[in-house]
Amino acid sequence: MRTEPNAKINQTSGVVPKIAPKAKWRIKEVRSCQDFKLWVVFNDDTQGEVELSEFLQSSHAGVFSALQDEKLFSQVRLEWGALTWPGGLDLAPDFLYREIKRGGKCILR
């Protein structure tokens, strides 16, 4: 058993590069807007609006109804290219991508 550190032996393997999802439908940028809307930009630079107001007020919003709190809604962030909020809430970016690619906007109901 070694009692003294040896920097030549105890070397790290190097700095691990930041992992960035490459799929075109992954989100690379998000901005929270008024009226429970988000502006998203995907890896392939497709961009558009995601409107959540109708969905958040619906009876089938489930755990997402917590996002009716504008302060919580505005805490949206990206995690592995997906929209996430505190409490483990997230939205699938592939669905949003398809809808925005088709019409420039995604309205969740």
- pLDDT tens column, 13-72: 556 666 677 899 999 999 999 999 999 999 999 999 999 999 999 999 999 999 999 999
- Residues 6+ away with beta carbon under 8 Å from 96: 25, 27, 40, 50, 83, 106
State whether the Cα torsion 89-95-96-99 is positive or negative. Answer: negative
Integer angstrom CA distances of residue 53 from 7, 42, 64 = 57, 22, 11
Note the CATH number of domain 27-107: 3.30.2020.10
pTM of the model: 0.80
Which residue ranges make up each domain of the chain?
27-107
